[in-house]
């Protein structure tokens, strides 16, 4: 029997460098599903820089039929350019004759009118689709870069998904449970079709390794307690809260080091804060790094911290757990739904400097078996576990 034909649409190209979790999910789920289906991709290839992996290179030995309906010149910006591209290439897309349509991006919702079983998958914290109506997020809207354009875009996306809702069989959501509960309460028609799907984690890439070996690779001090942050240096991620808490922690633990991986709008202010607190020798700004180096930095660390005010399911927190590293996160982060406080890490309230500092002190005392327990949590998000869930949902749409 021939394999089912799957048309998978996504905005953007997987470039093999630090990227949004949705793009990593697209890459990994396409690879997994290709074992059971013929996967055709529709999206935007990075032709200008010649880095596009989908079109130009094999990914782990697999080459995908790829259709890029975009033209080089942008007219308005997304999602309108996506609509134009889809309409322009409609006949070509129809020729793929899919059995199932799997949309990784709301901009591609017009493809739901192909008349095939269709699933929409929404990644992230849902702030745009809910148009910033989630109470905690609305309260913090002033801390969101370009919050008003995001708000307008969110209103449009909410209108868009309602318009195409009759053509959608299921809506997969990778967000935390409180956000999904809010969605189901405020938009019950959407909620009826919504299924929670965890993020997909590359547990083969993010593996535990010897801590001292990892530190020697990047010449990090072997006798220090190392705290790691990975994420955008932006207000919602709250790196300023972490630096203030680290100051308290460092006063009692002078042999400690805070590593900040990422770039963002707060970087200059954070550097000024570090100077003001006399932490220049204990806080290192590493900027953007190669994705292949991330597992080494996780393994070189004693604890990973993400003090976000708002988050969906944090992929970087899961990557740290997969390397056997305990995490300290806020209750706003989806990872708090999976760890046991005091076992795989600690959960603190958003913006609470004192509680975060206390959690760092407690992290020093975690026993050696913590690494094994952290890894066990992460395995719930493996390609096999999440891939099978998505595959079963997709295949359930086909006639039996």
Concatenating the DSSP letter of every residue in 299-324 gives: HH-SEEEE--SS-SS-HHHHHHHHTT
| Residue 56 C-alpha from the chain's centroid | 25
388 has a pLDDT exceeding 50? yes
Q: State pLDDT tens for residues 215-226.
A: 999 999 999 999
- Domain with residue 22: its CATH number is 3.40.50.2000
55 has a pLDDT exceeding 70? no
Buried b (16+ CB within 10 A) or exposed e, 72-104: eeeeeebbebbbbbbeebeeebeebebbbbbbb
Closest CA to 221 of 259, 170, 278: 259
- Who contacts 356 (Cβ-Cβ below 8 Å, separation ≥6)? 241, 242, 245, 305, 307, 328, 348
Closest CA to 233 of 281, 266, 195: 266
- Say if residue 369 is in the same domain as residue 386: no
* pLDDT average, residue stretch 339-343: 93
- Say if residue 186 is in the same domain as residue 102: yes
Question: Tell me, what's the pLDDT at 66?
Answer: 80
- Say if residue 192 is in the same domain as residue 140: yes
Q: State pLDDT tens for residues 56-89.
A: 555 667 777 788 777 666 666 667 788 888 888 8
Question: Tell me, what's the pLDDT at 48?
Answer: 55
- Who contacts 142 (Cβ-Cβ below 8 Å, separation ≥6)? none
| Cross-strand bridge partners of residue 195 | 172
Closest CA to 175 of 341, 335, 362: 335
Q: State pLDDT tens for residues 263-298.
A: 999 999 999 999 999 999 999 999 999 888 999 999
Question: Tell me, what's the pLDDT at 81?
Answer: 80
Question: Tell me, what's the pLDDT at 146?
Answer: 77
Q: Is residue 49 part of a domain?
A: yes
251 has a pLDDT exceeding 50? yes
**How far is it, in rounded angstroms, from Cα 335 to Cα 321?**
10
What's the whole-number average pLDDT of the chain? 88
The residue segments making up the domain with residue 253 are 211-380
Q: Could you list the beta-strand ranges (E) of 200-342.
A: 225-230, 256-261, 283-287, 303-306, 327-330
- Say if residue 176 is in the same domain as residue 246: no
Q: Is residue 400 part of a domain?
A: no
- Say if residue 234 is in the same domain as residue 272: yes
- Say if residue 244 is in the same domain as residue 147: no
- Say if residue 362 is in the same domain as residue 386: no
* pLDDT average, residue stretch 131-159: 79
246 has a pLDDT exceeding 80? yes
Question: Tell me, what's the pLDDT at 154?
Answer: 81
User: Which helix (H) or strand (E) is 239 found in, with range?
Assistant: helix 239-252
Query: Which residue in the block uniquely carries the two structure tokens 């998904």?
Result: 161
Please give the backbone phi and psi of residue 2, each rounded to the nearest 5 degrees, phi first.
-65, 150
Query: 65 with 41: CB under 8 angstroms?
Result: yes
Least confident piece of the model among 31-40, 62-71, 95-104, 340-349: 62-71
Q: Is residue 358 part of a domain?
A: yes
**Higher local confidence (pLDDT), 66 or 174:** 174
Query: 144 with 150: CB under 8 angstroms?
Result: yes
Query: Which residue in the block uniquely carries the two structure tokens 């996780």?
Result: 298
**Higher local confidence (pLDDT), 127 or 377:** 377
Tell me the range of 79-93, 202-216, 328-342 where mean pLDDT is highest. Answer: 202-216
Q: Is residue 205 part of a domain?
A: no
SS (H, E, C) 369-400: CHHHHHHHHHHHHCHHHHHHHHHHHHHCCCCC
Q: Is residue 206 part of a domain?
A: no
Question: Tell me, what's the pLDDT at 247?
Answer: 98
Question: Tell me, what's the pLDDT at 18?
Answer: 41
126 has a pLDDT exceeding 90? no
- Say what the pTM is: 0.89
37 has a pLDDT exceeding 90? yes
% of the chain at pLDDT higher than 70: 89
Q: Is residue 299 part of a domain?
A: yes
Q: Is residue 317 part of a domain?
A: yes
Question: Tell me, what's the pLDDT at 72?
Answer: 63
- Say if residue 24 is in the same domain as residue 97: yes
- Say if residue 163 is in the same domain as residue 305: no
- Say if residue 343 is in the same domain as residue 387: no
- Say if residue 330 is in the same domain as residue 357: yes
113 has a pLDDT exceeding 90? yes
Please give the backbone phi and psi of residue 45, each rounded to the nearest 5 degrees, phi first.
-95, 145
- Tally of structural domains, the chain: 2
Question: Tell me, what's the pLDDT at 16?
Answer: 44
- Say if residue 222 is in the same domain as residue 367: yes
144 has a pLDDT exceeding 90? no
230 has a pLDDT exceeding 50? yes
Please give the backbone phi and psi of residue 225, each rounded to the nearest 5 degrees, phi first.
-90, 120
Angle between helices 267-276 and 239-252 (to 10 degrees): 20
* pLDDT average, residue stretch 182-193: 90
Max intra-chain CA distance, the chain: 68
* pLDDT average, residue stretch 372-390: 94
């Amino acid at each position: 029997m021939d394999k089912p034909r799957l048309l998978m649409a996504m905005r953007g190209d997987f470039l093999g460098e630090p990227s949004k979790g949705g793009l990593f999910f697209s890459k990994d789920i396409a690879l997994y599903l290709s074992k059971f289906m013929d996967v055709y991709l529709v999206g935007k290839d990075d032709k200008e820089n010649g880095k596009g992996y989908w079109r130009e290179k094999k990914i782990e030995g697999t080459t995908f039929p790829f259709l890029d309906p975009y033209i080089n010149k942008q007219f308005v910006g997304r999602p309108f350019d996506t609509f134009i591209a889809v309409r322009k290439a409609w006949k070509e897309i129809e020729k793929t004759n899919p059995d199932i349509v799997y949309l990784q991006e709301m901009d591609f919702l017009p493809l739901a009118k192909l008349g095939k079983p269709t699933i929409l998958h929404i990644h992230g914290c849902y702030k745009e689709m809910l148009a910033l109506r989630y109470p905690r997020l609305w309260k913090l809207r002033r801390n969101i870069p370009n919050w008003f354009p995001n708000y307008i875009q969110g209103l449009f996306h909410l209108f868009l998904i309602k318009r195409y809702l009759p053509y959608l069989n299921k809506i997969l959501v990778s967000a935390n449970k409180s956000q999904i509960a809010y969605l189901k309460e405020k938009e019950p028609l959407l909620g009826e079709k919504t299924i929670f799907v965890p993020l997909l984690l590359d547990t083969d890439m993010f593996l535990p390794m010897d801590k001292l070996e990892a530190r020697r690779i990047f010449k990090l001090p072997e006798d220090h307690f190392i705290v790691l942050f990975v994420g955008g240096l932006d207000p919602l991620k709250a790196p300023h809260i972490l630096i203030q808490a680290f100051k308290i922690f460092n006063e009692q633990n002078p042999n400690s080091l805070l590593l900040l991986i990422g770039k963002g709008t707060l970087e200059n202010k954070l550097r000024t804060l570090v100077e003001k607190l006399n932490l220049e020798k204990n806080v290192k700004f590493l900027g953007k790094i190669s994705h292949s180096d991330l597992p080494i930095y996780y393994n070189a660390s004693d604890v990973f911290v993400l003090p976000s005010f708002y988050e969906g399911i944090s992929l970087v927190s899961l990557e740290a757990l997969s390397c056997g590293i305990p995490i300290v996160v806020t209750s706003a982060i989806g990872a708090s739904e999976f760890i046991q406080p005091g076992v795989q890490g600690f959960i603190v309230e958003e913006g609470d400097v004192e509680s975060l500092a206390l959690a760092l002190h407690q992290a020093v005392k975690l026993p050696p078996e913590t690494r094994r327990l952290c890894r066990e949590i992460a395995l719930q998000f493996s390609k096999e576990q999440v891939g099978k869930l998505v595959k079963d949902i997709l295949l359930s749409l086909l006639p039996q």
